[in-house]
Amino acid sequence: VEASVPEEQREAWKKHSAKEFKTKDQFEADVVRHIETTLARSLFNCDEAAAYAGTALALRDRLIIEWNRTQQQQTFADPKRVYYLSLEFLMGRALDNAILNVGMKDIAKQGLEELGFRMEDVISQERDAALGNGGLGRLAACFLDSLATLNYPAWGYALRYRYGIFRQEIVDGYQVEVPDYWLDFNPWEFPRHDVTVDVQFYGGVRKYTDDSGKQLSVWENGEIVTAVAYDAPIPGYGTRTTNNLRLWSSKASHGEFDFTKFNSGEYEASVADQQRAETISAVLYPNDSLDRGKELRLKQQYFWCAASLFDIVRRFKKSKKAWKEFANQVAIQLNDTHPTLAIPELMRILLDQESLEWDEAWSITQATFGYTNHTVMPEALEKWSVPLVQHLLPRHLQIIYDINFHFLQYVERNFPKEREMLSRVSIIEESEPKRVRMAFLAVIGSHKVNGVAELHSDLVRTTIFKDFVKIYGPDKFTNVTNGITPRRWLHQANPRLSALIASKLGGHDFLRDLNLLHKVEAYVDDEEFRKEFRAIKYANKVRLAKYTKEVEGITVNPSSLFDIQVKRIHEYKRQQLNIFGVIHRYLELKSMSPEARSKVQPRVSFFGGKAAPGYWMAKMVIHLINQVGKVVNADPDIGDLLKVVFLSDYNVSKAEIITPASDISEHISTAGTEASGTSNMKFVLNGGLIIGTCDGANIEITREVGEDNIFLFGNLAEDVEDLRHAHFYGDSFQLDPSLQRVFDTIRSGTFGDAGPFSGLVDSIVDHGDYYLVSDDFKSYVETQGLIDEAYKDQEAWLTRTITAVSRMGFFSSDRCIDEYAEMIWNVEPLPPPKMNGA
Ligand code: 9GP
């Protein structure tokens, strides 16, 4: 390892090297120093935003000391590292997380108080880092937290989008998208202007013969865009390990702007190149499970893969190990198909730049990559048009064809009687135009493929990758059920519950070993424990009620049953089923006698989530929810018996307020469509029960918490195909009368102009009801009735929620990461770095 400072001068360095704050006084000193010098403010003009900035910078100093040590330690030990390639990391806020992970909550709280600020107010100044759409991006963020906590040497790689997922405003009940410029002030990132990679696009491929007579290819004469690294420290909980998230930003390769053009008066042209280059990392694609096939998206994917691989290879080459060691030093996980271009890119490096033979390059590549599939829905599986790939990445297309050629030869040799299989498994789809099936390339180029919940992994094996299981054998395909980090989703979001559990379990060890939660079950009959558990839930509901009043202007009663569905809006997630159920409830209430009404369980139905801007149907679901809310919430007959709230601009920091406040949350996707879901885990961990279909991780949650502690309903995945078939070809389509009444009410204009809602209703009545809303409506409504009844027995309900919490240990993302490490990556933790004097 090279060190720039000579041996004799190192003592001086050691003496003066940066120290982390340990006491309240040191913390305060750091905060004040940053406010006064870094920010040039003083006690006369320090608002909460400045207090946040000073605090964040003080914490950042501390993290960066640990980050440096961790990286030095990793450089010396040179262990096998994990690289998690994800186009999305939905990080949320960093300050609160950093304070908790380094164990400085008391010091920070008291220190800020002494400086005149409340910690909660300071924390709430931070903008979410919202570089993701939904579950996929949040899973990646939870994984980073677990990787650091468990001391795995790991890096995340993504893009530094200037604009994350849009901010959602609701205007006249409709979603309006507003850009989210989150980089105004981002103290957590370190620009590394010295860490750059030149990435090429377009151009052509030239073949040549080298001195030894070997045929080689070179990709040349393309357009170059420079990737600049921005690093963000990722602290583990209760450990000094601080890993790195490296985000790439794009800029023009030849500097700022073209002076020649500027001097000749071509002002716009002088900055055009710069703007074009910067566009690559400008915006996160706001799709959710929809493949749109845009050229810019493909550019983003390649830009990020090429920069990351260059960086990974550069780090490997420093160790001067032979190429055959590569996969013993490097594990790259492909989070969905978005980073699949990393496969042909590594092949290109090995073949064209390192002159390896095909077979060796291919076995290194396959041994390096693992691929996680996150959906079996056909529309979400990426396919890129061959002409587009040819134009943008000509050398990669050749390599993809070569990979396909070798693969199909292998299949033909081993399955000579199954010629029709060849076109089914080919990476190239023979459509017009031809398309590259990225999921197949990912499967072929990886040594392991995993799904994210048991049912999902079974579907992966039996549907989309069925042929590949036959070709490679079942061992290549595995399951790692998703999980969530208990640090953010219990300790941070619900500090009082975390403290209650810690008080019974003798400390916070459960945050590092969530299975310890099983000990909580011993307190299920403990009156004092129950009292505090109930009080915590109530306080969390009061907090959400206050937020709802302040932000949405709607008054809700915290004693009502809080029913929550927050997630991306998508037909398969079936928010429409929920809102139709709400309308049904409203109609029932309206037709009841006052006496019958007085026996009804009051309920608040909360919704939240963003719709992809181009997804009309999802946007109409949002509109319907808002319109129903408008009518129901103002109806004097109904009062507190039913309220409908759409929580706008759902994001990670809002989820931290919403999740602990649920009595029931809804995870009601059509069976077989939701790969896993992770908010289901968060809600149960926070003492809420769930209503759900037999889908994704709901099934494993049921296995863990027991059937009595969850409300399941609806058709099973194995019946879905037959039901869909029956909608089209069966006897005439019969709607449940109560659903018919709901549709009649919508059409009558009760919730305003029915025009916008016709698509929603017609998709069920006239277009085959693909998501089986009509099939599941009855059992959904009945199950909601059971919930109302069950909730009336508050003691029994409490017992169920406590029991469920105590059985959630399995769903820690730490368990996931250990499984990935063992089954897929073959990596070991590295002991955390020692600190000065430690
Ligand atoms: O839709 C899945 C969701 O069920 C899962 O929990 C999440 C993390 O594994 O990934 C989502 N998939 C996508 O966003 C796109 O494949």
pLDDT band at residue 838 under the 50/70/90 scheme: very low
- Class (C level, CATH) for 78-93+128-481: alpha beta
* pLDDT over threshold 50, residue 145: yes
Q: Which residue ranges have their beta carbon within 6 Å of ligand 1?
A: 134-136, 139, 289, 336, 374-375, 380, 452, 482, 674-678, 696
Provide the greatest CA pair distance for the chain.
Answer: 95
Mean pLDDT on 59-77: 94
pLDDT band at residue 13 under the 50/70/90 scheme: confident
Mean pLDDT on 636-640: 96
Tokens of 128: 């979410």
Are 148 and 234 contacting, i.e. CB atoms less than 8 angstroms apart?
yes
Has 374 been annotated as catalytic? Answer: yes
**CA distance linking residue 739 with residue 728, whole number of Å:** 19
Candidates 487, 678, 485; CA nearest to 97 is 487
Choosing from 570, 676, 813 the residue with most ligand 1 atoms within 8 A of its CB, the one to mutate for a pocket test is: 676
Q: Residue 83, SS3?
A: strand
* pLDDT over threshold 60, residue 1: no
- Report the percentage of the chain scoring pLDDT > 90: 91
Q: What is the pLDDT of residues 292-330, one digit of tens each?
A: 668 999 999 999 999 999 999 999 999 999 999 999 999
Q: What is the pLDDT of residues 363-406, one digit of tens each?
A: 999 999 999 999 999 888 899 999 999 999 999 999 999 999 99
Mean pLDDT on 42-56: 96
The CA 665 to ligand 1 mean position distance, Å, reads 18
The CA 537 to ligand 1 mean position distance, Å, reads 28
Tokens of 392: 């943008």
Candidates 97, 131, 90; CA nearest to 281 is 131
Give the pLDDT confidence score for residue 5 in this predicted structure. Answer: 87
Q: What is the pLDDT of residues 96-124, one digit of tens each?
A: 999 999 999 999 999 999 999 999 999 99
The CA 455 to ligand 1 mean position distance, Å, reads 13
User: Which residue minimizes the CA distance to atom 12 of ligand 1?
Assistant: 374
Mean pLDDT on 257-262: 78
Which ligand 1 atom is at minimum distance from the Cα of 696?
Answer: 4
pLDDT band at residue 835 under the 50/70/90 scheme: low
Give the pLDDT confidence score for residue 785 in this predicted structure. Answer: 98
**CA distance linking residue 600 with residue 589, whole number of Å:** 8
Give the pLDDT confidence score for residue 294 in this predicted structure. Answer: 87
Are 468 and 658 contacting, i.e. CB atoms less than 8 angstroms apart?
no
Choosing from 340, 452, 667 the residue with most ligand 1 atoms within 8 A of its CB, the one to mutate for a pocket test is: 452
* pLDDT over threshold 70, residue 290: no
Intra-chain end-to-end CA distance of the chain, in Å? 23
Residue burial 750-769, b: 16+ Cβ < 10 Å; e: rest: ebbebebbeebbebbbeebb
Contacts with 384 (C-beta within 8 Å, 6 or more apart), sequence order = 293, 298, 435, 436, 438
Are 351 and 217 contacting, i.e. CB atoms less than 8 angstroms apart?
yes
Catalytic entry in 567, 574, 623, 667: 567
Give the pLDDT confidence score for residue 3 in this predicted structure. Answer: 58
Instruction: Strand 711-712: give its sheet, edge to edge.
Output: 642-647, 603-608, 561-566, 664-667, 689-692, 711-712
Tokens of 416: 């000579």
- pTM given for the model: 0.97
The CA 682 to ligand 1 mean position distance, Å, reads 15
Tokens of 386: 């061959």
Choosing from 88, 290, 375 the residue with most ligand 1 atoms within 8 A of its CB, the one to mutate for a pocket test is: 375
Q: For residue 641, how many C-alpha atoms fall within 13 Å in the half-sphere facing its CB?
A: 20
Are 813 and 483 contacting, i.e. CB atoms less than 8 angstroms apart?
yes
Tokens of 496: 């009082």
Has 567 been annotated as catalytic? Answer: yes
Protein fold of 559-802: Rossmann fold (3.40.50)
Q: Tokens 């507190």 belong to which residue? A: 640
* pLDDT over threshold 70, residue 248: yes
Strands 204-209 and 223-235: unpaired
Catalytic entry in 374, 488, 537, 643: 374
Candidates 461, 197, 411, 190; CA nearest to 309 is 197
44-53 long-range contacts (CB < 8 A, ≥24 apart) are: 46/116, 48/117, 48/121, 48/122, 48/125, 49/125, 51/112, 51/115, 51/117, 51/122, 51/125, 52/95, 52/122, 52/123, 52/125, 52/126, 53/185, 53/187
Q: Residue 363: how many CB atoms within 10 A of its CB?
A: 14
Calculate the CA dihedral of residues 33, 35, 39, 40 and round it to 10 degrees.
-80
Mean per-residue pLDDT over the chain, rounded? 95
Give the pLDDT confidence score for residue 688 in this predicted structure. Answer: 98
> How large is the ipTM?
0.99
Strands 369-372 and 448-451: parallel
Q: For residue 703, how many C-alpha atoms fall within 13 Å in the half-sphere facing its CB?
A: 14
Has 573 been annotated as catalytic? Answer: yes
- Report the percentage of the chain scoring pLDDT > 70: 98
* 93-107, 233-247, 283-297: range with lowest mean pLDDT: 283-297
DSSP codes of every residue in 396-424: HHHHHHHHHHHHHHHHHHH-TT-HHHHHH
Has 568 been annotated as catalytic? Answer: yes
The reply to whether domains 78-93+128-481 and 559-802 share a CATH topology is yes
Which ligand 1 atom is at minimum distance from the Cα of 289?
Answer: 15
The CA 765 to ligand 1 mean position distance, Å, reads 28
Q: How far is CA 410 from the centre of its chain?
A: 36
Which ligand 1 atom is at minimum distance from the Cα of 678?
Answer: 6
Candidates 324, 340, 322; CA nearest to 332 is 340
The CA 540 to ligand 1 mean position distance, Å, reads 28
Report cis status (omega within 30 of 0) of the bond before 756.
no
- Segments making up each domain of the chain, as ranges: 20-77+105-123, 78-93+128-481, 559-802
φ, ψ of residue 799 in degrees (nearest 5): -60, -45
Residue burial 157-169, b: 16+ Cβ < 10 Å; e: rest: bbbbbbbbbbbbe
